[in-house]
Amino acid sequence: MAKVFFCRDLEVSCKWGCSGETAEDVLRQVMAHALEKHGCKKMTEMMLERIKAKIREQEPTD
Ligand SMILES: [Zn+2]
């Protein structure tokens, strides 16, 4: 089952989301996105925890 993450889950007005095979894969994409689009110079431990808490299983789409 794929893992997914959406910026809006962190109460950010951003429509971006991503999916990956593992939480680590998703986390890598989220970090790249945060650096590029949200001007996050570096990821704090607290931010990482918040993001990890919002990574979830992709819902079946049928
Ligand atoms: Zn975003």
Tens of pLDDT, residues 13-54: 999 999 999 999 999 999 999 999 999 888 899 989 999 999
How many angstroms separate the alpha carbon of residue 1 from the centre of ligand 1? 23
Q: Domain residues of the chain, as ranges?
A: 3-56
Q: How far is the CA of 32 from the centre of ligand 1 (A)?
A: 10
Q: Which of 53, 56, 10 has the alpha carbon at shortest distance from 34?
A: 10
pLDDT at position 61 = 75
Expressed in angstroms and rounded, the spacing between residue 25 Cα and the centre of ligand 1 is 16
Q: 26 burial class (0-12, 13-18, 19+ CB within 10 angstroms)? A: buried
pLDDT band at 59 (very low <50, low <70, confident <90, very high): confident
User: What is the whole-number distance in angstroms between the Cα of residue 23 and the centre of ligand 1?
Assistant: 17
> How far apart, in whole angstroms, are the C-alpha atoms of residue 40 and residue 51?
13
**CB 29 within 8 Å of CB 43:** no
DSSP 15: -
What is the pLDDT at residue 11?
A: 79
Distance 19 CA to ligand 1 centre (A): 14
